[in-house]
Homo-oligomer: A and B are copies of this chain.
Amino acid sequence: MLQNILLRRLSATNRLKVHLDLFGDFKHNKFHINSVFNKSNKDDFVEIKFQGKSLRFPNVWLRDNCQCEQCFHQSAKSRILDLSKFNVDVQLKTVVQDETTVQITWDDNHSSKYGLHWLKFRSFTPEDQLKYTNTLYQPVKKLWHGEDFQKICSKHDYNKIVNCDDALHNWLQDLATYGVVLIQNTPHSNIALDGIIERVGFIKRTHYGVKFVVENVANTSNVAYLSSNLQMHVDLPYYEYCPGVNMLHCLVQTVSEGGENLLADCHYTSCYMKEHHPEEYKLLTETDVEWSDVGVEHGNEFFKLYRSPVICLDRHGAVKRINFSVPQRGSHFPGSIETVKPWYEAHGLFYELNQKFAAKFKTKAGDILVFDNIRLLHGRNAYEDKSGNVRKLLGAYVDWDEIYSRLRCLKAKLYPVEGI
């Protein structure tokens, strides 16, 4: 059934007053399409009633997202309309619908066709936007206290991740949600990490190399390569593009006491501070720190500096990144001298709380500890490095860009949504 609705011109303003009472049957769901002219001349939009809900779509947005071959490149899946010729004030001329699509002819006679599910998936209602955000865009983070670590740290099998998309999805979903997961039964091999990273994307290289070995090293360029107590920190905060996820494959673990991992969820700590210590929280979100690493690795000199607060908020006030590292906090303090002491107090409190909220456990050979490097602090208790009691980890970083990308590919494949 096709209906062609000729729109009536209502006034000398040369604008359209449109009220379409299309009533159809779309997979047993009743829907309406209304195109409504708003007097403010700001919000010309088409309105669809779908499954009892009213959904509005702005004309300008619809025209911009025309899916025809002239406006949208089919193999590149990209908009190709010429922006210099685009009319922001584009108006509807006719609207045609059938059971699954809406077809619009514009006042320049261009014609656009949209699937109803395609439109529904791009709904502008805050509830629909939030649902889309929390499922496809990025999973919601769930915060945790160290006491709950055994409950939230899920265990995944190396071979299942390598061979099965479901296992790959579940691993990445848990990682995005809790910021930490454990992969078990990893082959004792220097390339085992690669096998699992290739399932996601590729390694993030840094000046420490593509992969890195964590073991006791004399005359090291990095304090992580010692056997002494390694205070909780994030890796490489002096990178503007700080590695998103840290993967530490335990090849050899100490037999004796010591060498335990410490992990704290700084989103939990930040939330706690915001509530109980708002002034200190504010200082840590507003005071720039100069993170620093200067040295030579594999014969290449580096001189990294990056300024950023300990708790970095996005424009909406949500925590987006944590920077913390005693050894890699530079000696230049870029703020005013008056903020120095209060900042040190807040910084000390942040560390104290993270110690209080931290989980303690010990990985064993064959484990890959995977954690969000811009969310968690991680550290290691001291151990005695000697013959018969060594510890060796192989590490690599992967960025969130690649992880979220893989997660979306998997969701689209495993949990397909109409209109995606």
Which residues of A does B touch, CB under 8 Å? 42-45, 56, 58, 60-61, 64-65, 73, 75-84, 86, 88, 122, 124, 126, 129, 132-133, 136-137, 201-202, 205, 207, 219-223, 228-229, 231, 239-241, 286, 288, 290, 293-295, 300-307, 309, 315, 326-329, 331-334, 336-338, 340-342, 344-345, 348, 351-352, 355, 399-402, 404-406, 408-409, 412
CB A64 to nearest CB in B, in angstroms, measures: 7
Whole-angstrom distance between the alpha carbons of A306 and B45 in the complex? Answer: 26
Q: Are B65 and A302 in contact (CB under 8 A)?
A: no
Which residues in B have their C-beta under 8 angstroms from that of A340? 43, 58, 60-61, 124
Of chain B, the residue at the smallest CB distance from A129 is B334
Q: Are A302 and B338 in contact (CB under 8 A)?
A: no
Interface SS majority for chain A: mixed
Q: Are B301 and A409 in contact (CB under 8 A)?
A: yes
Interchain CB contact (< 8 A) of A79 among B207, B327, B345 = B327
Q: Are A78 and B352 in contact (CB under 8 A)?
A: no
Of chain B, the residue at the smallest CB distance from A342 is B42
Interchain CB contact (< 8 A) of A331 among B65, B83, B327, B329 = B65
Interchain CB contact (< 8 A) of A61 among B79, B333, B338, B409 = B333
CB A203 to nearest CB in B, in angstroms, measures: 8
Q: Are B75 and A221 in contact (CB under 8 A)?
A: yes
Q: Are A45 and B337 in contact (CB under 8 A)?
A: yes
Q: Are A77 and B345 in contact (CB under 8 A)?
A: no
Q: List 8 A-B contacts (CB under 8 A).
A: A42-B341, A65-B331, A76-B221, A78-B223, A79-B329, A83-B348, A137-B307, A201-B207
Whole-angstrom distance between the alpha carbons of A315 and B345 in the complex? Answer: 22
Whole-angstrom distance between the alpha carbons of A77 and B330 in the complex? Answer: 10
Q: Are A219 and B75 in contact (CB under 8 A)?
A: yes
Of chain B, the residue at the smallest CB distance from A303 is B408
Of chain B, the residue at the smallest CB distance from A210 is B202
